[in-house]
Amino acid sequence: MNGEGIEEKKWFGTLLSYAKGSGGRLWASVVFSMISLISGLVPYYLVYRMLDLYIAGELDKAFVIKYSLAALLAYLIKVVCFGISTGISHYVAFNVLEGLRLKVADVFLKAPLGEVYAHSIGEIKSVIIDKIEDIEPPLAHVVPEGAGHILLPIVCFIALAIVDIRVALASLLALPLGLVFMMLTFKLSGKNMAKYQEANASMSSMIVEYVEGIEVIKAFGKTGVSYEKFAGSICNYRDFVIEWLKSTWITMKLAFAFMPATLLGVVPVSILLVNKGSMTVSEMALSVMLAMSMVISMAKIEVFSNGLRQMQYTVLEVKKFLDIPSLVEPETERLPSEFTIEMSDVHFTYDEEQGEVLHGIDLTMPEGSFTALVGPSGGGKSTVAKLIARFWDVTGGSIKIGGIDIRDMKVESLANVVSFVTQDNFLFARSIKENIRLGNPNASDEEVMRAAKAACCDDFIRKLPQGYDTSAGEAGKRLSGGERQRIAIARMMLKDAPIVILDEATAFTDPENETRLQESIANLTKGKTLLVIAHRLSTIKNADRIVVLNDGRIEDAGTQEELMARSPLYNRMWQAHIGARNWAAGNKKEA
Ligand code: ADP
Ligand code: MG
């Protein structure tokens, strides 16, 4: 219809490839569906035979019983085969959904983080949950039943042709007109289908944003931009759907009216033939019955072809995610035996428009050393940390661990040697205990609690309704930012990786806990390569080396004393830090 022909063929194959080898069963369900529909025709033939015998005056009781039983049997076959067909096709369809969802999850895991962040949570959720779910009903019903309903009119037509070729041709009288209107409908709705999906996706991502930002929206009132965007996307969707329906309404109704109008030709022509004596009354009855079952199937084809298109657009939507490039992993990896981190001339650009963010970073963090990264906000500190964890690949230069380029390691192996605690730490909707245990799935309960104690979590965890068994989802609202961070630190401690990166990991912790936390971090990271990004300079003054990062460049590096002696930027940062501390302390005294 429009240049999508090839793609249309491919998408379906792609879809079935996710059925994990059960794709062949779909064809079995098609066969059962066809048997089912064709057995549905058998009773018509039997009625015709009985009518024939009745007119000839030869219909006796035995015949009636025999034929009725045969009709009943045919009906049973129809029902049973239909059941088998849908049973199989649902099995296949749910396998396809599972395969697709796992694949998308896998793509996200292997993709550079930037590719994942490029999509809103609303969009991702809408694709993985809703869109993929949308594939199930059409896949399970359209394929087997659709195929059957395409076959049935053909079988009916052949049967009609056997009865009388003139009647058969008459059944197609209104078909061309119907087809023209149907094509027209497709053309009109096809153009808008993509727009419909877009409006729908925009609406669902707006809804997620709205709910996630509800606190801010409440604080600033409905006048906020977010509310307008939210309401706007809903109105937009409504307007669009109404427009779309209007645009296809007339042609669709006409297509529906003409397409299946087989009786329009069959009835007058067969009456004519009966009058002329070239057709029996029972043949006429059979023709009418066949023509009527053609109608039913043709009407179904309309519905199913819409389902097929819906499925195609959904698949193409999902395909956008499947096509996200993954980080390149080596065939055979090399593993570091030593954990010095070495960044050489690292350049990095998030996106071309924004421009380069890191302009040639040379930084060596010897094994077992404590390096601190400080500098103004937006200077690139978090970017450096994320590049070491390979959330993205560098755009220039290299990052090596123990002399091995991190791109020569498998993503999973790198994750095993690097512990990364960030500002916003995610807790999964399972128990607090399990959340900590993510750091090391083999850890015993005692080890989990020991890590929690070391991370200053034990006290507040025990105060939760079910202690360590409280679900983080339930506790989520009650935990403060600092408490979440400490759970993430406990997780990190349990993981016991040779490289530890803390990106403002204690930023939300109150001063009392912070000193304790600092001590236990220092104890537990002894001998590890430690990189700490901190705003509160007092927490990193013992670092072996403090690196000042400003505007994507290393401005200076040295110990606390060295930097105090020579770096104006570092001095200014200290002044600001001390000032803030005094201010906080002053507030406390007043309170
Ligand atoms: P810091 O941690 O020192 O505050 P970041 O490394 O977070 O600095 O940011 C450095 C620069 O990169 C900033 O200009 C910031 O806007 C930009 N940046 C950070 N994260 C992203 C991202 N995911 N996409 C695009 N730009 C980003
Ligand atoms: Mg940062």
Task: Name the residue with the closest Cα to ligand 1, atom 10.
Answer: 380
Q: How far is the CA of 376 from the centre of ligand 2 (A)?
A: 9
Q: How far is the CA of 378 from the centre of ligand 1 (A)?
A: 6
DSSP 8-state class, residue 203? H
Q: What pLDDT is stored for residue 195 in this prediction? A: 78
Q: What pLDDT is stored for residue 220 in this prediction? A: 67
Ligand 1 close to Cβ of residue 359 (< 6 A): no
Q: What pLDDT is stored for residue 3 in this prediction? A: 34
Q: What pLDDT is stored for residue 2 in this prediction? A: 36
Task: Name the residue with the closest Cα to ligand 1, atom 6.
Answer: 380
Give the C-alpha separation, 29 to 144, whole Å: 6
Ligand 1 close to Cβ of residue 353 (< 6 A): no
What's the predicted TM-score (pTM) here? 0.69
Dihedral angle computed from the Cα positions of residues 295, 88, 77 and 141, in that order, rounded to the nearest 10 degrees: -10
Ligand 1 close to Cβ of residue 327 (< 6 A): no
Q: How open is the CA angle 487-489-490, to the nearest 5 degrees? A: 65
Ligand 1 close to Cβ of residue 380 (< 6 A): yes
Select from 383, 501, 502, 573 the residue to mutate for testing ligand 1; criterion: most ligand atoms less than 8 Å from CB. 383
Cβ-count burial 86-102 (b if 16+ within 10 Å, e if not)? bebbbbbbebbbebbbe
Q: How far is the CA of 580 from the centre of ligand 1 (A)?
A: 24
Closest to 402 measured CA to CA, from 340, 333, 334, 345 = 340
Give the C-alpha separation, 544 to 530, whole Å: 10
Positions in the chain short of pLDDT 70? 1-9, 23, 220-226, 260, 475-476, 581, 583-591
Q: How far is the CA of 49 from the centre of ligand 1 (A)?
A: 81
Q: How far is the CA of 12 from the centre of ligand 1 (A)?
A: 41
Q: What pLDDT is stored for residue 379 in this prediction? A: 94
Give the C-alpha separation, 556 to 558, whole Å: 7
